[in-house]
Amino acid sequence: MIKRLLSSGVVRNTLTWIAAQYIKFVWVSGRWRIIGEEVPDGLLNDGQPFVVAFWHGRLIMMAFSWKRCDLVNMLISGHRDGQLVSGMMSHFGSKTVFGSSTRGGAAAFIQLARLLRSGEIVGITPDGPKGPRMRANDGVIALAKVTGAPILPLTFSASLRYVLESWDRFVLPFPFGRGVFLWGEPIYISKNADDMKMSEKRVELEHALLELTLRADWLMNRPDIEPAPLTPEAG
């Protein structure tokens, strides 16, 4: 029954509109700070395309993380959930590229690389679409290598929130609270990087995102959300 309802364009459009209005209300009713916004501003002013990277569980407020988020092309899963996210993001002017590591991945990678080479900005959840939670995959590192675009880590936290029992521990902020966005420093990957260097850069990105998220939660006086346990391959 639910799947049938979600297959209806009218139902999907209504749900994404409601979600977008909720996010806007959380933003306008709260007291939000953006720390480090000069980093993407500087790259934009220099004409440097870049990749924005944030954990899947911190996706919901990203339309307000930067005044030029309308320039970001978001990589979104082609599954039904991804289509809902895409519809929600469209209300904020964001563009989407459908694909993932399991469906449409190669085509999406080529499209994202073309966008970056043409001077566009892209956004990726390096632990999406299915996890493991808060563990960076290799795709974003490979994309940065072939295009020369730096990766900017980004996160948010909120003082009033609910953490879902989903694989990504999705953070749902409530209205009338405090919130913070944190931008990290750019991470560059040389086009000549070998497998070992790329592995080191993957770990560097993962640690940068973990540290940013830990700091954001600390600033909002919220408990930490633990990443998934390391696998032997990831360790």
- Asked whether the predicted pLDDT for residue 88 surpasses 90, the reply is no
User: With the C-alpha atoms ordered 44, 48, 51, 53, is the resulting torsion angle positive or negative?
Assistant: negative
Other C-beta atoms within 10 Å of 229: how many? 10
- Asked whether the predicted pLDDT for residue 106 surpasses 60, the reply is yes
Q: What is the mean pLDDT of residues 135-142?
A: 95
- Asked whether the predicted pLDDT for residue 102 surpasses 50, the reply is no
Tell me which residue of 78, 139, 124, 72 sits closest to 104, measured CA to CA: 78
Q: What is the mean pLDDT of residues 94-120?
A: 81
Domains of the chain with CATH codes:
2-219 (3.40.1130.10)
Looking at the chain, how many residues does it have?
235
What mean pLDDT is reported for the chain? 89
Q: Quote the DSSP letter at residue 187.
A: B
pLDDT tens for residues 144-159? 999 999 999 999 999 9
| pTM strictly above 0.85 | yes
Q: Quote the DSSP letter at residue 58.
A: G
Residues whose CB falls within 8 Å of the CB of residue 110, separated by 6 or more in sequence, listed in order: none
Q: How would DSSP label each residue in 111-162?
A: HHHHHHHTT-EEEE-TTTTT-STT---SHHHHHHHHH---EEEEEEEESSEE
Q: What are the Cα distances from residue 25, in Å, to 20, 144, 176, 181, 216?
A: 9, 35, 9, 17, 21
